[in-house]
Structure 1
Amino acid sequence: MSGVAARRHTPLYRDPTAPVDARVGDLLARMTPREKVGQLNQRMYGWDAYRRTPDGGFELTDALYAETDRFEGLGALYGLQRADAWSGVDHTSGPGAEDAAALADLVQRHVVERSRLGVPALFVEEVPHGLMALDGTVLPVNLAVGATWDPELYERAAAHAAAELRARGGHVALVPALDIARDPRWGRTEECFGEDPYLAARFTEAAVRGMQGEPGEYFAADKAPVVLKHFAGQGATVGGRNSAESELGLRELHEIHLPAAHAGIRAGAAAVMAAYNEVDGMPCAGNRALLTGLLRERWGFDGLVMADGLAVDRLARITGDKVSAGALALDAGVDLSLWDEGFTHLEEAVERGLVSERTLDAAVARVLRLKFRLGLFDRLHGTPPPPADGSEVSRALARAAVTLLRNDGVLPAPAAVSRIAVLGPQAATTAHQSGDYTAPQRPGTGTGLLDALHTLAPPGVDIRYARGCALTGDDLSGIPEAVAAAAASDLAVLVLGGSSARTPETEFDANGAARRAVSHLTCGEGADLAGLGLGRAQYALLDAVVATGTPTAVVLIQGRPHVVPDTAGALLTAWYPGPWGGEAIAEVLLGIAEPVGRLPLSVPRSAAQLPVHYNHKDTEYGGYVDESAEPSYAFGQGLSYTGFAYGPPRLSGSTVEADVTNTGRRQGRCVAQLYLRRLRTPVWPRTLELCGFRAVDLAPGETRTVTFPAGAVPPGTAVEFRVAESARAALTAVPTQIFTAPDETPL
């Protein structure tokens, strides 16, 4: 048969030279209703699709056979690479870097063979802070990333994570980016970039650019489409309780909780995940006004909408049964389910008139389009080579996240220090340096603070260690040893905090959230707190060490802000800095590196103050009778080992300029922050709004001019700009002259 004749007999959807939309239309027209429904289902836990064989290989399970037979193929498979306490997958049973691609290929070949039309599956993986898989590079959590105020650095890290995913045969990355931290009692605060919509938007754009690369019809072999989660308002659940209702007015929703999503969509995000919470009484997975009216019709989004795990079936509480729940979600705008039963009945729902066949076809087309854009029909068995080691970019993020909040001269450690006591439950372990959604690590991976200080401290410095206490509980028996070590030292480094580390003893809900906190667990999905305190023994240890009179620096390793008394000479937070965070912290303590992190959220004095965030409405925000209403540490705050002075801002065309001077004796990096204050607006304004930031490295005595785009100011609005080192400093900073945007043309 000639080449021309062969092309005439080859279905259009098999022609790699044909436009994607034409291929989608041709394939869709050939599919049965059953096959179409199968493309919208993502029911299996990926770890149930395979098992290890005695010779160390993999074999497919009856569960996978049954699932692919059910719909003559498979739309998507979640978590083939996932390894953690919930899945039960570890290095003895799951795929590592050396054999993950082979497992993915084995599963994909089976899916294609069971599909009448040879349709491959999407392999969907969690990438919350690096690829959640055995041997995947673990990055600092989002809250630490937000503390870097460095989207460019994060973009490089995101690109590395995407390359790891694709090298292992995965396709789609689930990336937390859209939740805004408004109540730090919420266990998933660690997954947020911070409390501010502008800051979160810049990091969301970086995630999309890094993972997806340049926009185009096809994804590069080392790039992965991103599912941004969670859409929308999940960071505002009542009481900081996971999956609770979100009592949001539309203006609050649009001003605080939607800008990051809008930025991600403009950057080209391939997909979003509909959240558990409700918006105006309707859960997001069934909210047509949100998923269709806003996302698709107003924002022009033409990508994929995935429901969060079991969110579709939850709609049966409204509709009465899972068939109508699936119809409601599909009609609202959900294209792909996750573990639900409701979407398995969509053929019946169409037959009963609960949802139209046209709506079904539109969802299937979006799933197929993503598969074509990934090249799954044309490069079925090819995977790119793995990227270079990712530990350096993880270290760089950790180093940039370390934030110094208080320092009375204790840090950096003076050259005369000859004995350092390293104390506390977080001092000698890497197990609690990474957040929730972390795969088991091979022994020896990463560096704790104690080991890092042994390595980096000058020769002759005596490093003494005592654990002192556990993260939780009130066992004080180890405190005397810690006190003795502190009393015999020139400097005490007390490492406190929390943990999101899951263990096999953790009880899990069907969606992987912790059902109840066990042992050390104080943070992560399902570990919400009513207060913001550390474990009781940690406070006793702090009091006892400070009472020795030895200069003390407290280091917090945590996934949310905790309340710590101002008794130690220095306080810094590293958030969850990842496996190599110990090195980053040690470098800052010893003065090898400058502390350059800035707070991505306000640190409350107590949970009784909540909510506490800088961009509240501009009212008389007075204190309580029994306590101040101001936070202990403000959004944007962070000290350096030098000092900076800010000149008054000035308008120059469509930009704002200000001079920044290093007033100290050390090289340093400041983060100049531009805040907008609205003076005349059609609605009640917020006190301040972040609208720009620039990191500046300055030598001692050096002055540089920083320039910010002034951003879009609504026509006729009167504003002033302030440049400062934090939201608190901006309140008293010298403003620009009042600027009123022209009635017709925004600035």
Structure 2
Amino acid sequence: MRIRQFMSAAAVAAIAIGAAGHARVSSTIAAPLSAVAHPESWPVLPMKRHRDPSVEARVDGMLKRMTIDDKVGQLLQVDIASITPKDLETYKLGSILNGGNSAPNNDEFAPAGEWLKLFDAFYDASVKRSDGRPVVPVIWGTDAVHGANNIVGATLFPHNIGPGAMRDPALIRRIGAATAAETAATGIDWSFAPTVAVVQDDRWGRTYESYSADPAIVESYAGQMVQGIQGSIGGDFMKPGHVIASIKHFLGDGGTGGRDQGDTRASEAVLRDVHAAGYRSGLVDGALTVMPSFSSWNGTKMTGNKSLLTGVLKDRWGFDGFTIGDWNAHGQVPGCTNEDCAPAINAGLDMFMYSGPGWKQLYANTLREAKDGTISAARLDDAVRRILRVKVLAGTFEAGRPSTRPLAGKFDLLGAPAHRAVARQAVRESLVLLKNNNAVLPLRSSANILVAGRGADDIGRQSGGWSITWQGTGVTNASFPNGESIFAGIEQTMRAGGGKATLSVDGRYRAKPDVAVVVFGEAPYAEFTGDRPTLEYSPDDKSDLALLRRFKAAGVPTVAVFLSGRPLWVNPELNAADAFVAAFLPGTEGGGVADVLIAGKDRKPAHDFRGTLSFSWPKRLDQYVLNRRDAGYDPLFPIGYGLTYATPKTIGELDETRPKGVVTDQNALFSRGRVVAGGRLDVAGAVRQTRVDRVAQEDSLRFTFAGRGSASIEEAKSIDVTRESNGQLSLLMDYRVTTAPTGEVTLGMTGGKTTTVPITGAVKLPGSDWRQIAVPLRCFAAGGVDMAQVSKPVTLATTGALGIDVSSIRIASAPSGPADCGVR
């Protein structure tokens, strides 16, 4: 998330130039970058799949019998949190989806059987009609981005950045096939994968969804993953056990300057030659759907860019599947709202992805525009023809009720041993050895090992975002019944070898161990909540570094296993460890780490390191754009770097200099006892403020209200939180009540209009415990706040006496579970 922009104009320009891939900064003023593509300058793709006359005839026959109401219905995909099966008896929509936080019965931990049961209900309603018009079954889309990651018990493979280090396209295909089979076990027939972004700025919160900054690596993988998910053209294409794939996010999502839903400032040549790499193989190998990006190209939203959606993708490349929008992304197209966006359809979007209560309005507005010619009959028929074509090719009409399909209900496929073996191999091959001074690795299987760190025995942390929950938060090891933590894998391997592994998260011990393995890294995040201002690892919490240094001071040889969704500046941590392994986000098979770190009884490793960096590793925390084709390329470790046991190398002491004044937490509004730069605290009425301690000295504020009063954060310049609101984020406040309230207490937000929500019920009990309240941003938006022009992101107010300590206020994803618009 980026709430504010702290960089200078010169820095922004430099980043934009780096992201665009230009070789140098010119002192001359360059011509404005155009957002209009020239399809004739793009290559024609040698598609492996060609149109089948029998399929086309079948589609034409259905189109002729469909009314305009039927056709418009096919253009809508609605989130299951916003629609019921009963609705589909009247509205014959094309698709449903489960968003990142959506699940059967609003239970993200619902067993697999509940997913299948719910799809049966939607399917039954969609095919229920007696008017003689064509029956077109609904299809269900899901973000199965590293396995069937919404389903408890599924195998979670390493996030894409890890497999990018493998350089193993054949294994990528096996990962896709296993993911498809586990997805099909729940009856779901469509996966929003693979992501084929070519990330150019590693501050982006979706960097881990990219295989590489090198377009050649992305191109080598995209087609293989599509074949794994869908099957091979001329072979097992869309046979039972395969599901529909969706290449995303078209186009240039990796070049937005580290900002999710941002703007890729790049020439058409860079867009074509760098960012389109994954489409050159993924489309050729038959991907049936493409998801346009939230982001823009040179100021124009991709969801509304006709020159690319129609001119390049459909006309020049010959893509004859359909395009599916991202989460309400059409609402960001100029002239559109979430409930009305003919311009996106006219540009080449075929199906809206919608979440919210207004989907019937979207249907009604689109129907009106189809009838009055705003959307031409030819464009409407083209979109519907594409959707029907995909459904025919996918076997939707013959598949029958989800629970009757060949793999449906075979829940033993979730976490099946064969799939876990594939995932474990992917973990082994993804590991990159950055440092191994004094040949600390491999570890003797007879040794006494202490395993420490917050990531050591935490499957959720090692799996990252998109793991049961959208943000990967609110989970425990019990949420992954078929998974294995990194410690569990090490402990099992050591026991088999005659040695011992002891878990001590804080690193304390009685008897000095032979070696310490410290597993640490980024806490889980997804999408824009992972956007960062710099590449410094954990700038506000240096406890992991302190742990490493404590082992170093005690003379304990130390191996660092680093969990991250991107390369990060970890020079201090590298200096404090004897060996350093970049494990990225390995998923549920933590035992794959032990396979490489620990030698057999013969003291020889069963598996050597084979992973090599698919992104360059920064030497400085400000090296956000670090791509080898750029001038001045100066990484700590270049793309392709990776040590092995057979190729030892000593790494010297690294520079730990950290520039002063860098921004550390761009998610925060109030942190460490102070309003974040760009805002100020305004106190009004009968209220007094003093400083108190929570974790550090004076890191919190105590507000003592003697009567009616308020405390507000006012921005020097209004902030835009529309994407955060659209992404279902919340206003989070960490607090402790010291004096019970005698009047109503509210949290408010101002943007043109002020809207408040009651929180009295949450702050009625004083005590020593710190608590957190989450108010969804949608509550303020629904009350009329202009989320694009927020001048006061938070106002804490009361009509009576109240004592309350506040340590943190931020805009972020709420913990799992329901989040209401206030507590009275």
Q: Do they superpose with TM above 0.5? A: yes
Q: Structure 2 counterpart of 1:420, which letter?
A: I
- The question of whether the paired residues in 2 share the 8 Å contact of 1:417 and 1:491 is answered with no
Counterparts of 1:430-509 in structure 2 under 5 Å? 430-439=459-468, 442=479, 444-457=481-494, 459-468=497-506, 482=507, 484=509, 488-500=512-524
Contact map agreement 1:449 1:586 (CA 8 A) in 2: no
Q: Are the structure 2 counterparts of residues 261 and 416 from structure 1 closer, same or farther at C-alpha, using a change threshold of 3 Å?
A: closer
Deviation at 1:371, TM superposition (A): 1.3
Distance 2:319 2:466 in 1: 28
**Structure 1 pair 429–208 and aligned structure 2 pair: CA distance change class (3 A):** same
**2:67 is aligned with 1:32:** yes
Tell me, in whole angstroms, the C-alpha distance in 2 between the residues paired with 1:32 and 1:539.
65
**Which of 250, 256, 262 is the aligned partner of 1:237?**
256
**Does 1:259 pair with 2:272?**
no
Contact 2:261/2:294 (8 A) holds in 1: yes
Report the AA paired with residue 242 of structure 1: D
Aligned partners of 1:372 and 1:75: how far apart in 2? 13
Match of 2:615 in 1: 601
| Alignment of 1:531 onto 2:530 | no
> Which residue of structure 1 lines up, in the alignment, with residue 555 of structure 2?
549
Does the 8 Å CA contact 2:202/2:567 hold for their aligned counterparts?
yes
**How far apart, CA to CA, are the structure 2 residues paired with 1:455 and 1:320?**
56
Deviation per CA, 1:204-256, whole angstroms, max 9, x where unpaired? 01111111112259721221121111111111112x12112221221221121
Contact 1:271 / 1:306 at 8 angstroms: preserved in 2? Answer: yes
User: Deviations 1:561-591 (Å, cap 9, x if unpaired)?
Assistant: 2222231211111111011124434542443
| Deviation sequence 1:99-123 (CA, Å, 0-9, x none) | 5434423321121004743221011
Residue matched to 1:736: none
Do the aligned partners of residues 134 and 415 (structure 1) sit closer, same or farther apart at CA in structure 2, a change above 3 Å counting?
closer
Contact 2:147 2:154 in 1 (8 A): yes
Q: Secondary structure at the match of 2:140?
A: strand
| TM alignment of 1:386-465, pairs within 5 A | 386=410, 387=413, 388-389=416-417, 390-415=419-444, 418-439=447-468, 442=479, 444-457=481-494, 459-465=497-503
Give the whole-Å Cα distance in 2 for the aligned partners of 1:78 and 1:365: 21
Contact 2:440–2:557 (8 Å) recurs in 1: no
Cα distance in 1 for partners of 2:82, 2:623 equals 45
Which among 337, 345, 350 is matched to residue 335 of structure 1? 350
Q: Does 1:46 align with 2:60?
A: no
Task: Report the CA distance between 1:263 and its aligned residue.
Answer: 1.7
- Check the 8 A contact 1:262/1:299 in 2, yes or no: no
Q: Does 1:66 align with 2:66?
A: no
Q: Give the letter aligned to residue 126 of structure 1.
A: D
- CA drift of 1:463 comes to 2.6
Give per-residue Cα distances to partners, 1:494-551, cap 9 Å, x unaligned.
1111121xxxxxxxxxxxxxxxxxxxx5x65422111222232222222222222222
Deviations 1:283-333 (A, max 9, x none): 010000110111111111111111111011121xx216567x521111111
Which letter maps to 1:604?
P
Q: Do residues 194 (structure 1) and 212 (structure 2) align?
A: yes
Counterpart CA distance in 2 for 1:611 and 1:296 is 32
Please give the residue correspondences for 1:82-93 in structure 2 after superposition, counting only pairs within 5 Å.
88-91=106-109
TM-superposed deviation, 1:354: 2.2
Contact 1:179 1:229 in 2 (8 A): yes
**8 Å contact kept, 1:101–1:383:** no
Moved more, 577-586 or 563-572: 577-586
SS at match of 1:451: helix
Q: Distance in 1 between matches of 2:106 and 2:351?
A: 25
SS at match of 1:131: coil
Corresponding residue for 2:405?
Answer: 383
* 1:361 corresponding residue in structure 2: 381
Looking at structure 2, the residues matched to 644 and 419 of structure 1 have their Cα atoms a distance apart, in angstroms, of 24
Cα 1:344–1:197 change in 2 (3 A) is: farther
Counterparts of 1:200-279 in structure 2, within 5 Å, are 200-215=218-233, 219-238=238-257, 240-279=258-297
Return the match for 1:592 from 599, 603, 606: 606
Amino acid across the alignment from 2:342: A
1:483–1:548 contact (8 Å) kept in structure 2? no
The Cα of 1:362 is off from its aligned counterpart by: 0.4
1:21 matched residue in structure 2: 56
Q: Is the 8 A contact 1:604 1:631 kept in 2?
A: yes
2: CA distance, partners of 1:130 / 1:370: 23
Aligned position for 1:128: 145
In the alignment, structure 1 residue 349 sits paired with structure 2 residue 369: yes
Q: Over residues 264-297 of structure 1, what are the superposed CA-to-partner deviations in whole Å (9 max), with x where a residue is unaligned?
A: 1111111110000111221010000110111111
Instruction: Give 1:56's aligned residue.
Output: none
What is the one-letter code of the residue matched to 1:120? P
Matches of 1:453 and 1:130, distance apart in 2: 23
Query: Where does 1:562-641 land on structure 2 (aligned, <5 Å)?
Result: 562-565=568-571, 566-567=574-575, 568-585=577-594, 587-590=596-599, 591-616=605-630, 619=631, 621=632, 630-641=634-645
Partner of 1:409, secondary structure, is helix
Corresponding residue for residue 319 of structure 1: 335
Match of 2:813 in 1: none
In structure 2, stretches of 5+ residues that fail to align are 1-51, 469-474, 600-604, 650-824
1:151-179 Cα shifts (integer Å, max 9, x gaps) = 10110110111122223211111113221
1:418–1:461 Cα contact (<8 Å) kept: yes
SS state at 2:352 partner: coil
Identity of aligned residues (%): 28
Q: Which of 296, 304, 309 lines up with 2:314 in the alignment?
A: 296
Tell me the matched-pair count: 560
- Calculate the TM-score normalised by the size of structure 2: 0.64
Distance in 2, matches of 1:125 and 1:542, equals 40
- For 1:168 and 1:560, locate their aligned partners in 2 and report how far apart those are by CA, in whole Å: 31
Letter in 1 for 2:233: P
Q: 1:575 to 1:344 in 2, by over 3 A?
A: farther
Distance in 2 between residues matched to 1:219 and 1:492, nearest whole Å:
48
Separation of aligned partners in 1, 2:74 and 2:399: 19
Task: Tell me the equivalent position of 1:112.
Answer: 127
DSSP-derived class of the 1:561 partner: coil
Tell me how far 1:67 sits from its aligned partner. Answer: 4.9
Task: Please say if residues 48 and 64 of structure 1, whose CA atoms lie closer than 8 Å, have aligned partners that are also in contact.
Answer: no
- TM value normalised by structure 1: 0.71
The Cα of 1:339 is off from its aligned counterpart by: 0.5
The 8 Å contact of residues 190 and 524 in structure 1, kept in 2 or not, is answered as: no
Question: Offset of 1:599 from its aligned partner?
Answer: 0.8
Distance 1:418 1:219, change over 3 A: closer
Distance 2:445 2:313 in 1: 60
Structure 1 position 444, deviation (Å): 4.1
Cα separation, 1, equivalents of 2:514 and 2:570: 22
Contact preservation (8 Å) 2:445, 2:598: no
Q: CA RMSD in A?
A: 2.6
CA separation in 2, counterparts of 1:564 and 1:322?
42
Aligned pair 1:561/2:559, yes or no? Answer: no
